[in-house]
Amino acid sequence: MSKKQNETVSDIQKLAALIRSIPDFPKKGIDFKDITTLLQDRDAFNQVITHFAKRHGDKNVDAVVAVEARGFILGGALAYELGAAFVPIRKRGKLPYKTYEVTYDLEYGTETIAVHQDAVKPGQRVIVFDDLLATGGTVEAVLALMNRLGATVVEVAFLIELAFLNGRERLKSYPVYSAIKL
| Residue 165 burial (10 A CB sphere; 0-12, 13-18, 19+) | middle
Question: What dihedral do alpha carbons 5, 84, 121, 149 form, nearest 10°?
Answer: 60
- Rounded Cα distance between 56 and 177, Å, is 11
Residue 70 bears catalytic tag: yes
- Rounded Cα distance between 88 and 102, Å, is 14
Residue 107 bears catalytic tag: yes
Question: What dihedral do alpha carbons 11, 12, 15, 16 form, nearest 10°?
Answer: -120
Burial 28-59 (b: 16+ CB within 10 A, else e): eeeeebebeebbeeeebbebbbebbbebbeee
Q: Is 176 helix (H, G, I), strand (E, B) or coil?
A: strand
- Catalytic residue selected from 68, 107, 148, 170: 107
HSE-CB at 97 with a 13 A cutoff on CA atoms is 7
- Catalytic residue selected from 55, 70, 155, 168: 70
Q: Is the separation of the CB atoms in 42 and 77 below 8 Å?
A: no
Residues marked active site are found at: 70, 107
